[in-house]
Amino acid sequence: MTAISVLDLVPVRSDQTTADALAASLALARVADEIGARRYWVAEHHNMPGVAATNPPVLMALVAAATSRVRVGSGGVMLPNHSPLVVAEQVALLEAAYPGRIDVGIGRAPGADPVTGHLLRRGATGDGVDTFDADVAALAGLVRPEGVDVRVGSSTYPLRATPRAVSAPQLWLLGSSSYSAQLAGRRGLPYVFAHHFAGRGTDEAVALYRETFVPSEALPEPRTIAVANVAVAATSDEAHRLALPHVRSMWRLRAGTTPEPQELVEDAEATPLPPEADAGLAAMTSAWVVGDPASAAAELRELAQRVGTDEIMVQPVVGATRGTPPDASPAREQTLRLLADALA
């Protein structure tokens, strides 16, 4: 059986408040827990009207409190926006509260527009990417129960993310390029490839990761996850219909237009995109898995076999129809349930 995990951007629909979107995501997390999903990760995006996932550690605390078994993590914390010590303190506290259930996925993209990114870094020059390698190393040391010893002049200063820790969250590196693959391999970290938005280069990046992997104390052998955008319904036609709002949101984002809350399905159907969008949409969605349960399960099994992983992380990219309770996302829940049954 191919294990599934879940990535949640906490989408905000046109009929929802932020509170509604959070309630819908917590309900989805409970479904993931119920079906035996291995992980439930939340993302980091800033200043986007259609996405409420701005602060992964806060969301992780909410999800962990609402579930009992699933591992909870970030997919990911965008490390250039934060001090490694602050991230370490946040996830160390979560690990203390929910031992053995906390993952921390780290990325180097800004997750924000240039102005917002500049403000997140408090006006610091540069984008933080040039220190990413060193920051990952610092975070890896800080999340360990023993912490790190910092040299200050001729003295050694002990630095611990939290006192009396007995376990550490699991650190993952996220990426969609050869840089991230090689860094994960060199650091002996598990690696997550963003197949859901890259769509290409998955096989090459994972192969490079395996070639460059150096065993570490935390990870003796390479370990990978591939992430896929997934929409599943009783029929393929219904799955494509439910995916339409997310497809249109992604097209607008890549076209550089102002992002808006996600449309309801009927509103998306009523206002076609311009004809020139067709080619772009076809290319953008070519790696998505959209269909009935059997065909979707077969595609995900093929992806897992090709990449060489026993785990696929799915982002349910389905919208809601008119009349759906604002604090619920039944189509996203249905995608997880149907997929779990088909993969079993």
Counting DSSP H helices and E strands in the chain, the numbers are 13, 11
Amino acid 176: pLDDT: 79
> 295-303 contacts: CB < 8 A, separation 24 or more?
295/236, 296/230, 296/232, 296/239, 296/338, 296/339, 296/342, 297/339, 297/342, 297/343, 300/2, 300/4, 300/228, 300/230, 300/339, 300/343, 301/2, 301/343, 303/195, 303/202, 303/226, 303/228
Instruction: Report helix, strand and coil shares of the chain as percent, to nearest 5.
Output: 45, 20, 35
Hey, which residues does 205 pair with through a beta bridge?
none
Lowest mean pLDDT among 8-17, 189-198, 323-332: 189-198
CA distance 145 to 198: 35
Hey, which residues does 230 pair with through a beta bridge?
289, 316
Amino acid 126: pLDDT: 61
* CB 203, CB 306: distance < 8 Å: yes
pLDDT > 60? residue 199: no
Amino acid 121: pLDDT: 74
pLDDT > 90? residue 177: no
